[in-house]
Amino acid sequence: MMIKALSFGLVGLVNSAVDFGVFSFGFYVLNLPIIVANMISWAVAMTGSYVMNSQITFAAESGRKLGLRTYFGFALSQVAGFVANTVTVYAASDLLERFAGLDIDRAVLAGKVLAIGASFAVNFSLSHFLVFRRGGA
């Protein structure tokens, strides 16, 4: 399980960069609200995560096959991570701006970094124990 967690983490690093980039573009360039930018970035990164984890981390369990049923099972399981991510980015941004004295731009970026970290454990646990278990979804 440790090797899978490491692989999941490495895939997560790639998808975190995608998540962070799409979020930053949506928030700073398109001027989207934090929650909207986070929803879009999460959906893009989650899709990439499904593909990479199916092909690499959980290849034995998935047979390296992509499918709508497994994709929707993965997406559904990742909603808990998305909620943890969104609550963290929103709350941390506010707290860092109010109490740490960061300007809103720095507070949002720092909040997003914390949010990515907060969702890792939730996402791995659900992927390992529910979505990609042998004989699973």
CB-neighbour burial class of residue 107 (10 A; exposed 0-12, middle 13-18, buried 19+): buried
Residues 7 and 36: their CA atoms lie apart, in Å, by: 29
pTM for this predicted structure: 0.74
pLDDT, tens only, 69-122: 889 888 888 888 889 889 999 999 999 999 999 999 999 999 999 998 888 878
Residues 80 and 61: their CA atoms lie apart, in Å, by: 22
User: Which amino acid is residue 2, in one-letter code?
Assistant: M
pLDDT, tens only, 31-41: 999 999 999 99
**Predicted local confidence at residue 132, as pLDDT:** 81
Reply yes or no on whether the pLDDT at 15 is more than 80. yes
Reply yes or no on whether the pLDDT at 136 is more than 70. no
Tokens 């099972």 found at: 73
Locate 24 and state its tokens: 């930053």
